[in-house]
Structure 1
Amino acid sequence: MVVVAGALCDGGRLLAARRSAPAELAGRWELPGGKLEPGESPEEALVRELREELGVETETVERIPGEWPLKPGYVLRVWTARLLSGAPEPLEDHDELRWLARHELDSVDWLDQDRPAVAEAALRLTAAPPAP
């Protein structure tokens, strides 16, 4: 089973989402996303998941190299994504969101499987102005 996550970048910052469930993950931070559904491409799944979880419209930009094991039978794949419209809100599975600049990325307790992708996403952060 493929789980997709988005390194949502805007204005030189990366969006971090704090898990509210399940109990073993609650309070830790991740790149938001979710499971691929039958008939979806990973990119389509990511756009759908970010819409459902955050209430925003996005587009995928590039796949971050690598994949990371989750629980048995699940693997995490990450894409960078651009915010097209909306302001992210924690609608599902999260209780807080933070936009983090590169120097702030270590200020939250990332889930272990997200750390390599966050490090790669940090290399892609620029000082671009925020989207309108």
Structure 2
Amino acid sequence: MTGLIQVVGGAVVDRLANPTALLVARRSAPEHLAGLWEFPGGKVEPGEAPEAALVRELAEELGIGATLGAELAAEAPTGWPLNDRASMRVWFAEVTRGEPEPLEDHDELRWIQLQDRDAVLGLPWIPADYPIVHALLDSVAAMVPGQGHA
């Protein structure tokens, strides 16, 4: 699987230390993804570091500056498979400048409470993002002592 398109996504949380809320974005395009929720982000440009690409994409899509935290570990070093042509690496991110707005590719942003697993998983996510959402919820639960399933 060489020549994969590398995509980056931001798990934008209210704070990197003990996050309680996640910012999710609803796609407005393309038509087959419109209305589905995702992690904001986009493609890594040739010669661009993935982390730099994510900071750039968050600025373009949401109008924010962000500090990146830990990468959400995937089974493959190329990241989470999206389809047979692309994979996505996901980092935790915290807003450091600006107020998130749906500037590109999205028509709505929403903060959701991470401790409410049913609410998070109940959103109509892009299908390839479900394994990432599960891993994110497990990762956040492991960060907070005593936090189990809601």
TM-score (normalizing by structure 2): 0.78
Gap runs ≥5 in structure 1: 128-132
**Residue type of the alignment partner of 1:81:** A
| Residue equivalent to 2:133 | 118
RMSD, aligned α-carbons? 1.7
Deviation at 1:120, TM superposition (A): 2.5
Residue identity matched to 1:124: V
| Cα distance in 2, alignment partners of residues 39 and 49 from structure 1 | 15
> Is the CA contact (8 Å cut-off) linking 2:69 and 2:93 kept in structure 1?
yes
Measure how far apart 1:114 and its partner are: 1.3
**What is the deviation of 1:108?**
1.3
Q: Secondary structure at the match of 1:5?
A: strand
Q: Is the 8 A contact 1:7 1:118 kept in 2?
A: no
Which aligned pairs between 1:25-104 and structure 2 lie closer than 5 A? Answer: 25-66=33-74, 67-102=79-114, 103=116, 104=119
Q: Distance in 2 between matches of 1:62 and 1:29?
A: 22
Q: How much does 1:3 deviate?
A: 0.4
Please list the CA deviations of residues 64-117 of structure 1 after superposition, one character each: whole Å capped at 9, or x if unmatched: 111222233211111111111111000000000000002031241111211222
Unaligned runs of 5+ in 2: 145-150
Q: What letter corresponds to residue 63 of structure 1 in structure 2?
A: E
Higher RCO (CA-CA < 8 Å; seq separation 6+): 1
1:2-40 deviation line (CA, Å, top 9, x unaligned):
000000000510011000000110000000000001121
* Alignment length (residue pairs): 127
Partner of 1:63, secondary structure, is strand
The structure carrying a bigger strand percent of its residues is 1
Residue in 2 that maps onto 1:130: none
Q: Given that residues 37 and 45 in structure 1 are in contact (C-alpha distance below 8 angstroms), is that contact kept between their aligned partners in structure 2?
A: yes
Maintained 8 Å contact 1:60/1:82:
yes
State the alpha-carbon separation in 1 of the partners of residues 125 and 52 from structure 2. Answer: 25
Residue 18 (structure 1) aligned with residue 26 (structure 2):
yes
